[in-house]
Amino acid sequence: MRNLLQFLARHNRIFVFILLEIVAFYLIFSSNNYHNTRLVKSVRRSTLAWESIISDVRNYLMIRKLNADLHAENTLLRNYIAALKPATDSTDLLFPSVEKSDSLSDPRYEFLRAEVVNNSVVRQRNFFTLDAGTNQGVDTNMAVVSPWGVAGIIVAAGENFSVAMPVINVDFRLSAKVKTNDFYGSLSWDGADYRYAVLNEIPQHVEINAGDTVVTTGYSAFFPEGIPVGTIADFKKSGSDFYHIKLRLATDFRRLVHVYVIRDRLRKEQLETEKGFL
């Protein structure tokens, strides 16, 4: 016993080091539960208050740019409304007795607003935090889009905050298609550059060009169809049957502030119907 204590005392540096590394690695490997442990939760609550203040300052500094983005988006939406208006008016005119279409009064997708209060782009497994949670109707597995296009998927939801996994997380997967020809492939991120992602599984006989737009397919049951993902920046034919496509992401993850969480009212029904077949 005495010898053991002496041994420990003489090499205390190494033992303390090993002990603390075990603690650290325990935290890392239990990271799926990490955000749910009580200690982390209570600390996060206080740090989130800080982060809200910081993000307020940061957003204020970017306010001109943010306003320009919102303005551009508003313009686009106004154009859509303008394009839709004659159609709805003519329906009213032709079928005055028909009730307002269900698909308009109760659309499948509902957009909820949220602001990014914490964000990272330099890591391999990036996440961002939103200031909306279950109280605001946000829940896990909902899609998040930015004014430019696809942003991520909610992976954890608290009462007033939620955490989303962005496209720039090496664990992120999404099915996406080339808009011009509807061939679809699998989108992922290689962890290198936050501006670019990789699109695989597009067969080589398909004709694609740099600059082609890539959009979501709607097969994933997360995103509605047709939301922009990015544009083809570069592609090469590899030895396999598929292209290796480098995609310039539509969303600028460093400037991510105003986002929309998409609630799919029929998602549950779709998943239940598919259960047992897919």
Cβ atoms of 182 and 205 closer than 8 Å: no
Give whichever of 33 and 204 is closer to other proteins, judged by the CB atom: 33
Cβ pair 41, 35 in contact under 8 A: yes
**For residues 8 and 266, which CB has a smaller minimum distance to other proteins in the complex?**
8
> 38 phi and psi, to 5 degrees?
-65, -45
Alpha-carbon distance of 92 to 142, in angstroms, equals: 34
Residue 194 or 223: the one with the smaller Cβ distance to other proteins is 194
Residue 262 belongs to what H/E stretch? strand 258-264
Residue among 6, 7, 10, 31 that touches other proteins (CB under 8 A) = 31
The residue (of 106 and 171) whose beta carbon lies closer to other proteins is 171
Residue 62 lies near other proteins (rule: CB under 8 A) = no
How many beta carbons lie within 10 A of that of residue 251, not counting itself?
Answer: 25
- Please report whether residue 76 would count as binding other proteins according to CB under 8 A: no
Q: How many CA atoms lie within 13 A of 237 on its CB side?
A: 8
Q: Does 7 bind other proteins (CB under 8 A)?
A: no
Instruction: Provide the b/e sequence for 156-168 (b: ≥16 CB within 10 Å).
Output: bbbeebbbbbbbb
Shortest Å, Cβ 34 to other proteins: 4
The Cα 263–Cα 106 span in angstroms is: 12
Nearer to other proteins among residue 56 and residue 182 (C-beta): 56
Contact 133, 158 (CB under 8 A): yes
Give the one residue of 6, 30, 101, 140 binding other proteins; rule: CB under 8 A.
30
Question: Of 191 and 203, which has the nearer Cβ to other proteins?
Answer: 191
172 binds other proteins (CB under 8 A): no
Site for other proteins in 221-250 (CB under 8 A): none
Report, in Å, the least distance between residue 76 CB and other proteins: 26
> Looking only at residues 100 through 139 of this chain, which bind other proteins when binding is defined by CB under 8 A?
118, 120-125, 127, 129
Residues from 201 through 220 that contact other proteins (CB under 8 A): none
Which stretches of 87-237 are assigned E, i.e. beta strand?
109-119, 128-130, 143-145, 150-157, 162-166, 174-178, 184-188, 196-200, 213-216, 228-237
Indicate which single residue of 182, 193, 207, 225 sits in contact with other proteins (rule: CB under 8 A): 193
Report if residue 36 touches other proteins, rule: CB under 8 A: no
CA–CA dist 32, 237 (Å, integer): 37
Question: 126 or 217: whose CB is closer to other proteins?
Answer: 126
Interacting residue ranges for other proteins, rule: CB under 8 A: 12-13, 16-17, 20-21, 23-28, 30-31, 34-35, 40, 43-44, 47, 50, 54, 58, 118, 120-125, 127, 129, 163, 191-195, 254
